[in-house]
Amino acid sequence: MSDATSEKNTVLMGKIVSLCKKRGFIFQSGEIYGGLNGCWDYGPLGAELKRNLKDYWWRKNVQEREDIVGMDGSILTHQDVLKASGHVGGFSDPMCDCLLSNARLRADQIEPQSGTVYHYTGASNEESDWSVEREYAVLVGEGQDENKARKTARLFYSKFLSDKQISPKKLELTGERSEAVENTTLFNPENGSLLTEARDFNLMFETRMGASSDENDESAVAYLRPETAQTIFVQFKNVLDSNRIKLPFGIAQIGKSFRNEINPRNYTFRSREFEQMEIEFFCRPEDGLALTEEWLERRLTFYEEIGIPREHLHVLDIPDGERAHYSEKTYDIEYEFPFGIQELEGVAYRGAYDLTKHKEHSKKAIEYVDQEAKEKFLPHVVEPSAGCDRTILALICEAYDEETVTDEKGKEETRTVLHFSPRMAPVKVGILPLLKNKPELVAKAREIQALLSPFMNVFYDEAGAIGRRYRRQDEIGTPYCVTVDFETLGESGDEMKDTVTLRERDSMSQERIAIADLRAFVLDKMM
C-alpha cells in the first residue's frame, strides 16, 4: 500500500468507525468509564446485523442440510479439555524484553553466554544536578573490553535523562561491581544488555470455579474457551450417539470465545471477546483433502451471498511449515479491509488430531463405529471456522459508500450509503407517511407497519422532509422505503388506491406497488 492510499484508508476507516457509533452499530465497551481495551458492544442496528448474519449462516449450514447438526457449548471450560488440546502449557511462550533496545526475545531461545557481568545501581550528572537510581547490568563476553559495559550502561541510563541535550558520555555511573558468570541467559546476545524477567504470554482467560475456591487449589481452575472447536470435539461421541448420523457429517456451533490478545487492534477486528461460527465436518480419512477443497468453495459462495464479492476476497493456501503441525492443508479466506488484507475464516483439515488427543487424555472410547463395514476408527475433520465479528466488520466496510449526487438546482452533495444486501440489512423497510400532519396518511402507514413487522424488522419514520428521511435510511443501509401518499388513500381514483411508492436505496428509483404485494416482494429479496 502506498503512503497516500494508506492515509486515505485510515481516513475511510475513521469515517466507518464514526458512522457505526453515530447510528448505533458499534460502541466501545464501558465507554463512560473510559473504555475496556479490546471489547466492543453492538448497539441496536449492530445487533440486528449480527443476528441476520448468524441466522443466515445457521440456516444455510444447519437447517438446510441433513448432514450437519448444531450445538451450543458452555464457555467455561474444564481445564483438562484444554490440556488435552494443547492450549494449556504448550502455547505460553516465555518472553522477555531488552532493557536497552526494547527488542522482544523468546526467553527459551537465548543462547547461554559466559563472561563478566558489570552491575550498576544508577547514574548521575554533576553539571545538571541530575541522577537516577536503578539496578542495571551488562554482560561483557570473554576477551572483550570492559569499557563496553560502561558505554552500554551510560546509554541505558541516558534514557531517563529529562534533558536530552546531555551526552551519555557525561554520565557518572554509580555502584559498579563485577562478577564472572557462566551460561547465563539473562542478557541480550546482541548488545549485552540485561533483559526483563521472562513472562508467560498465555492468551487464555483463567478463572476459578466455586464460591469457596482456594487460590492455591489448582483443581478449581477453569478457562474461558479460546475457541469453540474444543467443545465440539469433547461432545463428539454424545452427538453421535443421540442423533443416528453417519459419516460424513458435521457439528456446527456459533458462540463466544476469548483470547487475552497482547495488542487488540483495528477496531473490532482483533478483540479479546469474539464470536465464532464454526463447523467440524467429520469424515473418513481418505475424504479429508477433497472435502477441504469443497468447503473452501462453499464458504466463498456464502460470502458472495451475504454481499462480499469474490474479487474482494483472497484465498491463502498456507504453505508447509506455517500450518499448525497437525494440519495437512489450511486455507485462509481473507478480505481487503481498509487497514489491510486480513483473515475472515480459516478452512483447516485437522486430521484426527483433536479426537486422538481427547481419546488419549479422557481414556474414553470415542471412536466412530461403521456398522456395515464393521470398522471402528477416529474420523478425520475439516474445520471451516469463521470470525463472526470480523465478518460484520467486513460487511460494513464493503457496504460503506459516499456518492456525489446532484440535486435539481445543480448543487452537489455527498450521499452516505451502506449498500447492505437485503438479506443482511438491519432494517428491511422504512415506512414513511408523506406528511405527518395528515392523520389518514399516518394511519395507513401504521397499518403497513403492522402488516410487515411480524416478518421483518421495519422502521416507521414521520419526522422531517421526505428526502431527509430517505437519506437517514440510506445511512443505515435500509434497502427499501415505502411512502404513503394521497394516491394510496384513493384520491386519484381506484387504480392507485392502496398502492405505495417503493423507493430502492442504491438506484434511488421509485415504482408503484400494491400494499398487498409488499410482504412477498421484500421477503423474496431477503431470503
Partner RNA sequence: GCGGGUGUAGCUCAGGGGUAGAGCGCAACCUUGCCAAGGUUGAUGUCGGGCGUUCGAAUCGCCUCACCCGCUCCA
How do 94-97 and 199-200 pair as beta strands? antiparallel
Residue 162 C-beta: closest distance to RNA, Å = 8
Count other Cβ atoms within 10 Å, centred on residue 205.
Answer: 17
Q: Is 226 in the site for RNA (CB under 7 A)?
A: yes
Residue 262 makes contact with RNA by CB under 7 A:
yes
- Shortest distance, position 52 Cβ to RNA, whole Å: 23
Q: Which of 471, 497, 519, 525 binds RNA (CB under 7 A)?
A: 471
Strand, coil or helix: 512:
strand
Q: How many residues bind RNA (CB under 7 A)?
A: 69
448: number of Cβ within 10 Å: 22
Q: Which of 290, 450, 508, 516 binds RNA (CB under 7 A)?
A: 508
Judged by CB, which is closer to RNA: 407, or 524? 407
In terms of C-beta density within 10 A (0-12 exposed, 13-18 middle, 19 or more buried), how is residue 89 classed? exposed
Q: Which of 50, 259 has the CB closer to RNA?
A: 259
Cβ–Cβ under 8 Å, residues 170 and 161 = no
Measured from the CB atom, is 137 or 466 closer to RNA? 466
CA-CA distance, 203 to 115, in Å (whole number)? 36
Q: Among 165-173, 178-186, 287-295, 472-480, which window interacts with RNA (CB under 7 A)?
A: 472-480
d(CA 429, CA 524): 13
466 binds RNA (CB under 7 A): yes
360 lines the binding site for RNA (CB under 7 A): no
429-433 vs 329-337, strand pairing mode: unpaired
Given candidates 486, 519, 523, 525, which one binds RNA under the rule CB under 7 A?
Answer: 486
In the complex with RNA, the residue whose CB is nearer, 186 or 306, is 186
Between residues 279 and 466, which has the closer beta carbon with respect to RNA? Answer: 466
Total Cβ atoms within 10 A of residue 43: 14
Q: How far is the CB of 304 from RNA (least distance, A)?
A: 26
Per-residue mark of binding to RNA, 409-448 (x: CB under 7 A): ----xxxx-----------------xxxx-----------
Q: Burial letters for 326-354: b for 16+ Cβ neighbours within 10 Å, e otherwise?
A: ebebbbbbbbbbbbeebebbbbbbbbbbb
Phi, psi for residue 457 in degrees, rounded to 5 = -80, 120
The contacts of residue 514 (CB under 8 Å, 6+ apart) are 498, 499
Q: Which residues contribute to the site for RNA (CB under 7 A)?
A: 6, 10, 13-14, 17-18, 21-22, 28, 34-38, 87, 91, 93, 97, 102, 104, 201-204, 226, 259, 261-267, 270, 324, 339, 405, 407, 413-416, 434-437, 463-468, 470-472, 474-475, 483, 485-487, 491-492, 500-501, 503, 508-510
